[in-house]
Amino acid sequence: MPTAFSPVLRATRLIQIGIYKTCAYAGTMRVALLQINTTVGDLEGNASLIRKAVESLDADLAVTPEMALVGYPPRDLLLMPGFVKNAWDVLTRLALDLEDSPPMLVGIPEPNRSETGRPLFNSAALLADGSVKQIFRKTLLPTYDVFDEDRYFEPASGPQMLNLKGRTFGISICEDIWNDRDIFRRRRYHRDPLEDLRGADCFINMSASPFTAGKHLKREMMLSSIARKYGVPLIYVNQVGGNDDLVFDGRSCAFSPSGELIARAAAFEEDVLIVDIDSCSGSVSRDDFSPESEIWRALVLGTRDYVRKCGFRSAVIGLSGGVDSSLTAAIAAEALGPENVIGVLMPSPYTSRESMEDALELARNLSIQTITIPISEIMAAYERTLEPIFRGVEKDVTEENIQARIRGNLLMALSNKFGHIVLSTGNKSELAVGYCTIYGDMSGGFAVLSDVPKTMVYRMARWINMRGPVIPQSVLEKAPSAELRPGQRDQDTLPPYETLDEILHRHIEQRQSEEEIVSAGFDQKMVRYVLKMVKTAEFKRKQAPPGIKVTDRAFGSGWRMPIAYMM
């Protein structure tokens, strides 16, 4: 999704307090927005979700999100012809099952029958009267960030129009709406598919648009501007749920021809939203757009779906008494239920009594089970084994990393024996500069906080506590420390997190160079040190478990930096 919003777009928010035009018709045309949580590859399961969503539905047309039948993003499953064939077999049966239901638009990959171009189209099939009646195709195929659609799909050509019950609907799919010349200073594509839809009575957009903090309000401003520009109602249907490193926030919505928000579905949960495009009526779900609330709900949903869609039911977490493991445990307890979360305390000779007490207090507050496994004897065994080889060499970070790897091995042993998934607890700031131990605290099946900067971790912890005491106050007040040596503090190695996170934000998300960051007032020696750590840590990030994307640029599927390079 392009992010270069112009002043024109920012100003469109004002239309929500202005005077609106009336809608075009005096009749009734009810459209159902099926905001469902699909699982990639689960054709029968996704079809079942669609059937359930339209049970007893009072609507003239139902619309699913993009690629709803196969789940988004299907990635290289699309390269398997058998998978695409099976999807169409399921679609055919679904059409028969829904013969007596309202007409429905269902997202599905469509084989490209020509002898040129990519093998598929990103399409929507109109189901009506027991069969597929019409096909609509996506025009703009994103290849930036987490998207790689040009790898699989051939673009559509020409307007995608649906005539139904005396109305003409202009059909677009996700990226097709993100290229308006009046909204974006720099457009990624040379054409705007919406311009081909002039003359339609209503625009419909079927989306699978991933969440990032603050994105939806920008999305609503854009949709409002488009509805007003073309003078037609606009319906936007978005996927909800977590698939791999992406979370989809739902918030399907509709706008009147004047750009007024007339309906919005629930955030971060399944919903069926009914919109009457003739009377411009619907319901608007209440929402909280604060960063802490949005990110909390995204992390809870993303963790729940990743764990369950991967076949796990329970999680194990190393509890250190620090803020990262405390927040991770709180998210896991909310996502999976406290009865399905186990906190493991693994004290060493350098673990403070306060850290142990904080970890136990947190567990009591969350009502999660704890296990304590001291690691002093294991550390001593390593020391005896390595002493002949290390003799005469000063102790350094090697011994610190051994402690972290002991803990990682213990957590993985519990995972293997009892079938829990290990949730690693590192944050984005640490992952960016490599302040973490590969095969140690980086061990795990899912990295819940890997796109959450340390300063946001603290903000979220304080936000959680506003609803009641969860994370001990002492965790928020003490200096952060890995406690791998006597008196260790994070700031012995790193700049203060407020400074570090600002430098990282400028470099990673805004793509600023050393010179640009220094010109903004940061110390050159510090900036050079941080940027060197970011580059050096690339090999670690390539081996890290997946995590949930919540910022504009995460260390996930959209991060494609080389490991071995020189600049």
Same domain, 44 and 120: yes
Same domain, 231 and 310: no
Q: What is the CATH number of the domain that holds 479?
A: 3.40.50.620
User: What stretches of 267-415 adopt beta strand conformation (E)?
Assistant: 271-276, 315-318, 341-345, 369-372
66 given a catalytic annotation: yes
DSSP string, 484-553: SSTT--GGGTS--HHHHHHHHIIIIIS---HHHHHHTT--HHHHHHHHHHHHHTHHHHTTSPPB---SSS
* Identified catalytic residue from 23, 66, 260, 502: 66
* Identified catalytic residue from 23, 149, 174, 280: 174
For residue 27, the model assigns a pLDDT of: 65
Is residue 433 a part of any domain in this protein? yes
174 given a catalytic annotation: yes
Amino acid at 135: I
13 Cβ neighbours under 8 A, 6+ residues apart: 221, 224
What is the distance in angstroms between the CA of the first residue and the CA of the last residue of the chain? 29
Is residue 527 a part of any domain in this protein? no
Angle at 223 between CA 187 and CA 208, to 5 degrees: 80
Same domain, 115 and 206: yes
N residues, the chain: 567
At 202, which helix (H) or strand (E)?
A: strand 202-207
Same domain, 138 and 268: yes
Domain-terminating residue out of 284, 313, 338: 284
CB 469 within 8 A of CB 567: no
Instruction: Report DSSP state, residue 265.
Output: P
**CB-based burial, 33-61: b 16+ in 10 Å, e otherwise:** bbbbbbbbbebeebbebbeebbeebebbb
* Cα dihedral sign, 186-188-191-192: negative
Is residue 560 a part of any domain in this protein? no
395 given a catalytic annotation: no
Angle at 408 between CA 403 and CA 409, to 5 degrees: 100
Residue ranges for the known binding site are 144, 209, 215, 318-325, 401, 425, 430, 540
Is residue 509 a part of any domain in this protein? no
Same domain, 54 and 170: yes
Domain-terminating residue out of 266, 284, 302: 284
Residue ranges for the known binding site for L-glutamine are 144, 209, 215
Same domain, 207 and 352: no
Is residue 83 a part of any domain in this protein? yes
CB 457 within 8 A of CB 427: yes
* Identified catalytic residue from 23, 138, 149, 400: 138
Same domain, 354 and 324: yes
Same domain, 11 and 118: yes
Calpha distance 336→315 (Å, rounded): 8
**Number of domains present in the structure of the chain:** 2
Q: Tens-of-pLDDT digits for all 567 residues of the chain?
A: 444 333 333 332 222 322 233 454 556 899 999 999 999 999 999 999 999 999 889 999 999 999 999 999 999 999 999 999 999 999 999 999 999 999 999 999 999 999 999 999 999 999 999 999 999 999 999 999 999 999 999 999 889 999 999 999 999 999 999 999 999 988 999 999 999 999 999 999 999 999 999 999 999 999 999 999 999 999 999 999 999 999 999 999 999 999 999 999 999 999 999 999 999 989 999 999 999 999 999 999 999 999 999 999 999 999 999 999 999 999 999 999 999 999 999 999 999 999 999 999 999 999 999 999 999 999 999 999 999 999 999 999 999 999 999 999 999 999 999 999 999 999 999 999 999 999 999 999 999 999 999 999 999 999 999 989 999 999 999 888 877 788 878 778 889 999 999 999 999 999 999 999 999 999 999 999 999 999 999 999 999 999 999 999 999 999 999 999 887
Residue of 481, 483, 473, 480 whose CA lies nearest to 365: 473
Same domain, 270 and 306: no
Per the listing, tokens 């071995």 go with: 564
Residue of 290, 284, 294 whose CA lies nearest to 249: 294
Q: What is the CATH number of the domain that holds 203?
A: 3.60.110.10
Residue ranges for the known binding site for deamido-NAD(+) are 401, 430, 540
Is residue 191 a part of any domain in this protein? yes
Tell me phi and psi for residue 264, to 5 degrees. -150, 130
Same domain, 376 and 260: no
**CB-based burial, 67-79: b 16+ in 10 Å, e otherwise:** bbbbbbbbeebbe
CB 299 within 8 A of CB 428: no
Domain extent, residue 396, equals: 293-494+537-541
Same domain, 173 and 235: yes
Same domain, 187 and 259: yes
Is residue 226 a part of any domain in this protein? yes
Calpha distance 203→191 (Å, rounded): 17
Is residue 359 a part of any domain in this protein? yes
